[in-house]
Amino acid sequence: MEVGNGGFATITLSDVTVRYWFTADGNAPATLMFKSYYSQNGNLTITNMVKATFAAAPPANVTPTSDTYLELSFPGATGTIGALGGGGANIQVEFNGAQNQTFNETNDYSFDATKTKTYQAWTHMTAYVKGVLVYGCEPQSTTASSSGGAAGSSGGAGADSGSAGSGGGEGGGGGG
């Protein structure tokens, strides 16, 4: 995936988090495994700085296609992203269940098979700056009452899906 900035001000990547919403296919979040293959922000290699957190989706976000999310964060000196599309961070990751169990990606909120080969805007992945939703639409439960999420914003970070993965894992909006 690529993390970009459609806002009017440069943002610090360490202020950004991105969520990929999926069904855990019977796996507990604590048993999921994450691998960062390659991540670059401008001239800065940040592969080993990408942090992954798996969590159960809040009740307002539990749907038949989302019961869990992978949240990527970028602590430390991971650089900035220029305003108005002035660059972006290329993030290539994968995750699997216990013993490298693969997932059924077709039942995942953030997965779209048409977006696995090239970077494309995809509002089913969500991006936050300092914890505030700035891009995408969180999945909305039909049984839990919720105020809902924003369908994007006038600025801030955004996540474009893409980059096909390997090993049958999931990630980055398209197995990556």
- Per-position b or e across 91-119, b if 16+ CB within 10 A of its CB: bbbbbbbeeeeebebeebbbbbeebbeeb
Residue 159 binned pLDDT confidence (cut-offs 50, 70, 90): low
What's residue 142's pLDDT?
Answer: 79
The per-residue pLDDT for range 102-154, each reduced to its tens digit, is 888 999 999 988 887 777 788 999 999 999 999 999 999 877 544 433 333 33
What pTM does this model have? 0.80
Q: How many angstroms separate the CA atoms of 24 and 90, rounded?
A: 25
Per-residue confidence (pLDDT) for residue 167, from 0 to 100:
28
Pick 148 or 167 by higher pLDDT.
Answer: 148
| pLDDT, mean of residues 63-92 | 90
Distance of CA 175 to the CA centre of its chain: 11
The DSSP secondary-structure symbol of 172 reads T
What is the C-alpha separation between 147 and 156, in angstroms, rounded? 21
Q: Which of 7-11, 84-88, 109-113 has the lowest mean pLDDT?
A: 84-88
- pLDDT recorded at residue 129: 94
Phi and psi at 157, nearest 5°, equal: -75, 155
Tokens 């995936």 appear where?
Answer: 1
Checking if the pLDDT of 27 tops 80, the result is: yes
